[in-house]
A = this chain, B = another copy of it.
């Protein structure tokens, strides 16, 4: 017995009930009274139940009809909500913005940015996915995420890399540390040191990719720590040295426990990018997020 209820029927039932009669309901639904009559005849035949009490003339719902009405009133709002959301997607109010960050320290500036963003774009579904930090660009192309924060732009068709801001990876040690005596540090200086890093693969850490790997230098030990605050703690107590972005280091610059030094004489400059699908780059909320990120970067530099 293949029943064939459709949204059309739910709308019809509700309209007939709300407006009390086929003629009125037909007008509201922009179809003829005849069509409605045929429609309910159709459902009644398919479902094998009488939906209306026919004795009285202003057509009244029967028990089964009332049950169907209840279903209509439960289901139709859900569809309305769905349509509203899709309308939002269409005119750019709504959307999904799942962010993958390759650089671990980026949480620091990203959170305040997202707080602001959420207020401006309440209908956008914002999320951070630190899990798939590796392989982030393929995930972007497959639409598993919508924005990747990365410092290694590639020339991929369909993927745009929009510069966010420049930063400098900076050497950080306790003020009592021997290397504090040097005006800057070189790759070779790390050979005898314990290096404290975030727990990610080496090629994605600036110290390694920009300095140690090219120079072929291996630190005496590498210790991986999740939280920035803990890294700072360990460095202060001389359990190792670290390399962190300048915006992180700036917070402890005035603290006499630490010294900061450039990497190489001229320092290393890195640029952070927002990678997005070309189709999305120009979307208003995406552009707005990038603008907010740049503003936040400026604020961090000024601190």
Binding site for B on A (CB under 8 A): 1, 3, 5-8, 47-49, 53, 55-56, 60, 62-64, 67-68, 71, 74-75, 78-79, 82-83, 85-87, 89-90, 95-96, 125, 141-143, 146
Which of B5, B78, B142 is the one whose CB lies under 8 Å from A82? B5
B83 & A79 in contact (Cβ 8 Å cutoff): no
Q: Please determine whether A55 and B7 come into contact, CB atoms closer than 8 angstroms.
A: no
A5 near B143: Cβ-Cβ < 8 Å: no
Is A95 a contact of B55 with CB atoms below 8 Å?
Answer: no
Structural contact, A6 and B3, CB atoms closer than 8 A: no
Known: A63-B96, A96-B63. A142 touches B89 (CB 8 A): no
Residue numbers in B under 8 Å from A74 (CB-CB): 78
Most chain B Cβ neighbours within 10 Å, of A53, A60, A75, A82: A82
Chain B residues whose C-beta falls within 8 Å of the C-beta of A143 in the assembled complex: 53, 55, 60, 62-63
- Centre residue among A71, A142, A143 by max chain B CB count within 10 A: A143
Q: A67-B85, A68-B82 are in contact. List 8 more A-B contacts (CB 8 A).
A: A3-B83, A5-B79, A48-B89, A49-B89, A60-B143, A63-B95, A63-B96, A71-B79
- A8 contacts across to B, CB distance below 8 A: 6
Q: Are A49 and B90 in contact (CB under 8 A)?
A: yes
Counting from the closest, the 3 A-B pairs by CB-CB distance are: A63-B96, A48-B90, A53-B143
Contact (Cβ within 8 A) B53 A142: yes
Cβ contact within 8 Å between A64 and B86: yes
| Beta-carbon contact of A1 and B141 below 8 Å | no
Which residues from chain B contact A83 at a C-beta distance below 8 Å? 3, 5, 47
Chain B, residue nearest A146 (CB): B63
A142's partner among B49, B55, B78, B86 (CB-CB below 8 A) is B55
